[in-house]
Amino acid sequence: MIYSQTFLMAQGLAVTWDNPDIHLEKAGVQVASDKIEADTDYEIVARVWNGSPLAPAVGLPVRFSFIDFGIGGVPLPIGETTIDLPVNGAPGHPAFARMNWRTPSTPGHYCLRAELVWADDANPANNVGQENLTVSALNSPRAVFTLPVRNEARTRRSYRMAADVYEIPEPPPCSKERPGEAPTLTREEADRHKAAAVSRHGLARFALPADWRVTIEPEEFVLAPGAERMVSVDITAPDGFQGRQAINIAALVGMQSVGGATVVVHT
């Protein structure tokens, strides 16, 4: 598994599109994905996890692709590599997949995707992660950007745009109840973990603060198959704001997330 935004949102959890499991490196130094240069060599690094304490995945294929910054669209392949993924808690877990990538000659932001391909997976829904981030400076005290939304489905879709301020918090201390043992959970333990996750990361906890204003235009719209719509996002910070604030923009079809992006605004 990987940090998979669509899977997590389906569980009622808030997400960031600044993926903690996907990053870029240049000459061995990590580079922010909003600062990549055109026609330049980078290495994409994906951190891959195994939820099983019993079954390793030897020769696990990891596929990398990208699309233009935005929501939806057809991914363009970058390449595929394989890794040996040990069981949960074993040496070498998590594993790291690396792929060389020369960026397109046209400057811009891009959405990176990492997909894990494993036929014998108990939960294939958490195998795709996206890194979709941009950074914008507040300009007295607003930031405005546009976000293309594309319908890659074969049917018409009704979209609803939503915003929140979730960022991944510091993790709690690791449990010392069963040191050295694989984390096999009973159904009751798993239910408690899920309830704790919803309590800590539930989407309802991260609504926009009252002193921030985010206007999305249009907020609701319909797209034919293959169609694209430019969505304008206007962010206004409270008077006197100093610092940075992450705003997550998601596109929903019904109750299901079909993609999103994170914009970090700063003074």
Query: Tens place of pLDDT for every residue, the chain, 267 residues?
Result: 999 999 999 999 999 999 999 999 999 999 988 788 889 999 999 999 999 989 999 999 999 999 887 888 888 999 999 999 999 989 999 999 999 999 988 877 889 999 999 999 999 999 999 999 887 788 878 888 899 999 999 999 999 999 999 999 998 887 665 545 555 678 898 899 889 999 999 988 999 999 999 999 999 999 999 999 999 999 999 988 999 999 999 999 998 889 999 999 988
Separation of alpha carbons 146 and 245, rounded Å = 18
pTM of the model: 0.90
> Of 83, 51, 50, whose CA–CA distance to 64 is shortest?
83
- Cβ atoms of residues 116 and 62 within 8 Å: yes
Separation of alpha carbons 143 and 100, rounded Å = 33
What are the tokens at 85?
A: 């993924």
- Cβ atoms of residues 70 and 150 within 8 Å: yes
**Domains of the chain (ranges, CATH numbers):** 5-171+200-266 (2.60.40.2310)
> Of 11, 14, 15, whose CA–CA distance to 204 is shortest?
14
